[in-house]
């Protein structure tokens, strides 16, 4: 991928802040990709899993908010990339410390992006500190 790192970071930050999905790197979306996402079967998650996800998402967003200014102020693309990698590693660690795999975290994130009811349930948990 020859995309400038700042462009990549801006897209990742937007996704992270809007949906808590810091691990979803922006990629060009094709009609086929959109159709595959829309056809994904709904998955029912138990309350404990969603609470774990909400806690992990809160930490992931906090890490992103804390580190984004450093990335934006980096004096070189290399420095920005180093900070971005460090941020990603912290986010992975935060998710895993909650007892959730990154794959499961990403799966729930993608499902929440397609399911407004699931997203609302997660947002309620985050707001209530569950």
Asked whether the whole model's pTM tops 0.85, one would answer no
Radius of gyration of the chain (CA): 15
SS (H, E, C) 9-23: HHHHHHHHHHHCCCC
- Using one digit for the tens of pLDDT, what is the confidence trace for 99-129? 999 999 999 999 999 999 999 999 999 888 7
**Averaged confidence pLDDT in the chain:** 76
- Structurally, how many domains does the chain consist of? 1
Write down the pLDDT at residue 37. 47
Write down the pLDDT at residue 14. 36
Q: Which residue segment(s) compose the domain that 107 sits in?
A: 5-127
Burial (CB count within 10 angstroms: exposed 0-12, middle 13-18, buried 19+), residue 104: middle
Q: Where are the alpha helices (DSSP H) in 20-101?
A: 31-38, 47-72, 77-97
Rounded-to-integer distance, Cα 19 and Cα 97, Å: 20
């Amino acid at each position: 991928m020859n995309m400038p790192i700042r462009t990549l970071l801006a897209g990742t930050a937007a996704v992270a802040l809007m949906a808590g999905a810091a691990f979803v790197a922006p990629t060009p979306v094709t009609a086929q990709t959109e159709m595959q996402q829309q056809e994904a079967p709904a998955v029912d998650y138990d309350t404990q899993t969603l609470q774990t996800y909400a806690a992990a998402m809160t930490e992931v967003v906090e890490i992103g908010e804390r580190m984004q200014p450093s990335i934006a102020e980096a004096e070189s693309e290399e420095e920005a990339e180093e900070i971005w990698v460090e941020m990603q590693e912290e986010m992975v660690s935060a998710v895993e410390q909650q007892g959730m795999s990154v794959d499961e975290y990403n799966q729930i994130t993608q499902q929440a992006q397609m399911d407004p009811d699931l997203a609302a349930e997660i947002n309620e948990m985050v707001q209530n500190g569950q």
